Amino acid sequence: MLLHEMLKIDGGEGVFLAEESLADLISLPVTSEILRSGLKVEDLIEVVEEGGGAHRLGVALRLTEPADTWLLLTDRYSGSRALDGYLQDGAARVVRVEEEKFLEGVVEALAISLRSELFCDACPVASPPLFVPERIEGLERFLRPLLPAGSEVLEVCCGSGMGTQALKRLGFRPWTEDLDSCEICMALKAGHLDSDRAMVLDARLLDRFFPPRRFDVVVGFMVGLIDDVNWPLWREVLVSSSKLAEKMVIYTTYTEREARIVAEALGSVGWAAEVAANPDDLGIYDQWALLGRRLG
């Protein structure tokens, strides 16, 4: 695990995150309880950002009860300084890590817990995720002339990772996000998503983990279905996700109407938005697309 590498501990030692999800890393329910409890620790490692502002990223606590293990706490994404109290007497050890590598380690640990069904009573989905080769091939053809080689890509609302396969075939290793933990879990088990870049999270909270314009391109495949009732929610998701793109956004839809609704919304917040038809023989997936390029 990446956490073992970052903390410079033996691969056989247990290491867990205090929180169960990325969303919990914002509100810190378990971390707050640990801090209130006055938990006694055997050892402590402070994780500090390498270079830059040398911000504290987290604190790893060595516990002996109920088992000998490491517990990683981070207040980096909460907007608080909740961990300051643990560092009043200085950390026994300090390790330095690039901030994005730290996030990859956190995401990987959560993905491993999810894939292992650590927080599930039982898996409600026994079958593998849907995999339609024709759709993947169609997306690959559509995206090839649009995505510059070497681009940093974020895919929002990735579902079970079918569209992600087209990005991978084109040589990209995208960060992926979806709110549905079962979809992400199935994709991880099938090997469709990379565990250190697969996030279970509301897309509207991505800006707690990434700065504006962090990615060259943000994509979302088959966003919707969009109707008058759910459009306000979809608008929030797509506008907030687009803020993370430096150059381009690409969102595919089932209908032209959906693509034009998205284009109008992005045009109102500083994007040059173009709607393009993308028909294929299946007539189901990604039939229309919104191509947005940042104006300034």
Complete domains list, the chain, with CATH: 2-115 (no CATH), 133-294 (3.40.50.150)
Query: What is the model's pLDDT at position 88?
Result: 54
Q: Report the percentage of the chain scoring pLDDT > 90.
A: 81
Give the mean pLDDT of 101-110.
98
Q: What is the DSSP letter of 129?
A: P
Query: What is the model's pLDDT at position 66?
Result: 78
Q: Report the percentage of the chain scoring pLDDT > 70.
A: 96
Query: What is the model's pLDDT at position 124?
Result: 75
Q: What is the largest CA-CA distance in the chain?
A: 66
Residue 90: pLDDT band (50, 70, 90) is low
Query: What is the model's pLDDT at position 258?
Result: 98
Interhelix angle 162-169/133-143, rounded to 10 degrees, is 50
Highest mean pLDDT among 88-102, 120-134, 233-247: 233-247
Taking the C-alpha atoms of residue 44 and residue 46, their distance in angstroms, rounded to an integer, is 7
Give the mean pLDDT of 153-165.
96
Whether the pLDDT of residue 291 is over 90: the answer is yes
* 264: its two tokens: 């109008």
Residue 126: pLDDT band (50, 70, 90) is low
Closest Cα to residue 255, out of 291, 226, 292? 226
Give the mean pLDDT of 38-54.
82
The residues that bridge with 56 in the sheet, in sequence order, are 48
Q: How many Cα atoms sit within 13 Å of 251 on the Cβ side?
A: 32
Whether the pLDDT of residue 89 is over 60: the answer is no
